[in-house]
Structure 1
């Protein structure tokens, strides 16, 4: 059956949009969840953290499974698991039930997301078509995070917190019904089909330990034995993982992927991009609600221009990559991000939204996707089709783990600064504003690092309709 690649993209992008939306939509429901289910203050964080932990920890395994079992099969399994656990979360009668549902939902996302990106990579040929597809992918991902706050506010205000989970169910049912019609079946990779059990245990365990340590850093402190032990253990497991992969006949992650300068530099940029985006999103959401005293719904509406800028950036970046290649577009995106963050970092509690927050959010939204789209394109420029799933898992693991680390660092610095200011006699509003400013300067430092990484990265020029050479595309 002949399928339109653009119809395939719509199905896959809608699934990814739902995954990204779910990261932020739950945030505005937390107060209702806490009062309804009787969560403790420390326990409530696990509604978010359980999802992040499993999502980040199992991405490598999800990407490899897509290569070995077939990407559409793994996508479908992940999608069904995501929908079933969304329903279970909405029906949760207790804190333990909800946390367990969120954890398994994260596992579903870790299967779904790299498989979907793998299908996009192999559905569209190298060059302009793939660049446009990845631009759409990046734009919807940026918009999903923003719309999650608006959608969550609307659902909680009009219905209840349970609907931030129930809303996924009809979307998943629709996607499961139309996937066989619009998404081609890509068979399993030929040859050895070993899952590399040792690599899976070491790689997944290392990522889980790192993400868990980062998640726990905020409530218990970076110097806590629990956090230090997890971070050291995670690093040791990942070192052992690299050693095991070097000797494996069928590795979970072929090390030649990590030796690729285009993929490794793009992965570094995406990790820093995730750190900048997630930390800025968190800080601005707190600033809008706790300092400027807006409602969750109003905060979401005030975020919307950032989402619109993200869509415009995706379209613009795609066109610019086709003309100039990835490196100049990526460095320009980083520079715009820095400008937006510096403007936001000078915003006071009573400053006009239109004069300060709006231009800062628009610049940042434009810049963050201006980095993401060319980095996504560059990361796949020299990846063979048979390893598209593994490469997608690696790239998304960079982003998720980088985002978790960056958020933890910025949250710790921002909270420490706010507490210190309040202890010194500042009002709570002034202290939170001071912490907000300090956190945004750290986020701006991440974007400066993106600029440096991008400036030193290879210049991939996929605007020329590249032809694979032995399964590999040549980058300049």
Structure 2
């Protein structure tokens, strides 16, 4: 597919307008990251307040994750074809309405509907906002700085969500976990139209690949549903295996469809680039390992050291500081050694400090080594995440940025969804017996696997991104 682009003027410094564009886009992305984790601490309170049956509580998170991951690739391409700013603002408007509805919900059905709409809004705003970021800032130091700040705030948002959810629930009400989105979304909606220019492909608009859109969206929905069911019912559950099998079959069908249609949703030439394929694999491993490590350490702090949920959440503030530091440092590191070497260096740092957690014990003296390791591991993880975003969006035209950021967002959300059920299954399977020591043994086994996965990401980046310009085929 050939897309004609109107080349933007060369930009070498951050103008006041670009600074405001950056602030608006980062504020939106930070808010979306917070939404992933803000309700985790509040789930039992929500269940009591709205009369949620215990067995249905998980659907508050699952309904959001299904839509956020399942529709992101479709919306990323829609942003390319119909306007990135238009989709970004429309998604924010839906998010504001959904958050208000969730905050005022009087029944489980209304709350779940609000979470579905929040997930759909996230699937639209995240790739649209990222593609606005990559098209507003030219490839090079400015884009790397913007993506570094975006990555830092995104990862800090996951940590902030856990802390903020506990604080709001304890001091005010769980409803404020929804309502806090409304003023932020409205502020961005009021300012953005005057600051952010529309960005879309010029020339004749290609037709949207509906068969491809249908197969990939339903396939991703089935995969995410299967992963969440595996975490809740076990990996041998027929519900989990059936959903995963259906998802894999639909994604294979999607690949066959894309080979035949004239205007594919995902041109295979883009997926064939080393930077896109192996960059996204590195990103998948980075998100899977770090988010699942937070889950494992939450269990450690509460089940082994006896911390309260709020105290455990506050302990991850150090990890948040580490991710912000890593995001700030990443553009400088990439500028000096390149994105491939940054993927390797960051992965090695993350793997080493994740492995250091194998020395944790049952006394509170283990808290200090944990804080040091999570800080340093957070720095390494953020180096990988920023380098992954730079790698996966480099060497592509502006007309392909929505697709590239849609793929990157899908990678992020699948990684976040996969991590917890995978590591939970490993930890549970390794817990022989009962009691604190059994829990600690299971957690250490999962931590060891987590560190090994990080090293696998380092190895694939070192081998398959070597000498790749972004235009070299994977095969």
**Matches of 1:298 and 1:224, distance apart in 2:** 34
**Matches of 1:293 and 1:204, distance apart in 2:** 42
**Matches of 1:273 and 1:124, distance apart in 2:** 25
Query: Is contact 1:330-1:374 (8 Å) kept?
Result: yes
The Cα of 1:430 is off from its aligned counterpart by 2.5
Q: 2:51 aligns with which of 24, 30, 38?
A: 38
Counterpart for residue 404 of structure 1: 417
Query: Is contact 1:325-1:459 (8 Å) kept?
Result: no
**Matches of 1:79 and 1:41, distance apart in 2:** 31
Runs of at least 4 residues off by over 4 Å: 459-462, 472-475
* SS of aligned partner of 1:28: coil
TM-score normalised by structure 1 residue count: 0.92
**Matches of 2:175 and 2:444, distance apart in 1:** 34
* SS of aligned partner of 1:421: coil
Deviation digits for residues 377-419 of structure 1 (CA, Å, limit 9, x no counterpart): 011111111111011111111222133223221111112333x
Pairing 1:186–2:193 present: no
**Matches of 1:130 and 1:160, distance apart in 2:** 39
Counterpart for residue 398 of structure 2: 385
Q: 2:433 aligns with which of 387, 411, 421?
A: 421
Pairing 1:436–2:443 present: yes
Q: 1:295 aligns with which of 302, 308, 315?
A: 308
Number of equivalences: 459
* SS of aligned partner of 1:308: helix
* SS of aligned partner of 1:330: helix
Pairing 1:220–2:227 present: no
Q: 1:314 aligns with which of 327, 349, 353?
A: 327
Counterpart for residue 9 of structure 2: none
Pairing 1:284–2:290 present: no
Change (3 A) 1:474 1:414: closer
Q: 1:156 aligns with which of 169, 182, 191?
A: 169
**Matches of 1:369 and 1:208, distance apart in 2:** 27
Unaligned stretches of 5+ in structure 1? 463-471
Pairing 1:219-368 to 2, within 5 Å after superposition: 219-368=232-381
The Cα of 1:249 is off from its aligned counterpart by 1.7
**Matches of 1:329 and 1:188, distance apart in 2:** 31
Query: Is contact 1:28-1:153 (8 Å) kept?
Result: yes
Unaligned stretches of 5+ in structure 2? 1-14
Counterpart for residue 465 of structure 1: none
Q: 2:463 aligns with which of 456, 467, 471?
A: 456
Pairing 1:103-122 to 2, within 5 Å after superposition: 103-122=116-135
Deviation digits for residues 118-155 of structure 1 (CA, Å, limit 9, x no counterpart): 00111111111111111111111111111112211211
* SS of aligned partner of 2:106: coil
Deviation digits for residues 131-188 of structure 1 (CA, Å, limit 9, x no counterpart): 1111111111111111112211211111011111111111111111011122111145
Change (3 A) 1:80 1:188: farther
Counterpart for residue 23 of structure 2: 10
Change (3 A) 1:134 1:474: farther
CA RMSD of aligned residues (A): 1.9
Deviation digits for residues 268-305 of structure 1 (CA, Å, limit 9, x no counterpart): 00111111012111111222233322233322221111
**Matches of 2:468 and 2:167, distance apart in 1:** 43
Change (3 A) 1:383 1:51: same
Query: Is contact 2:274-2:472 (8 Å) kept?
Result: no
**Matches of 1:438 and 1:182, distance apart in 2:** 50
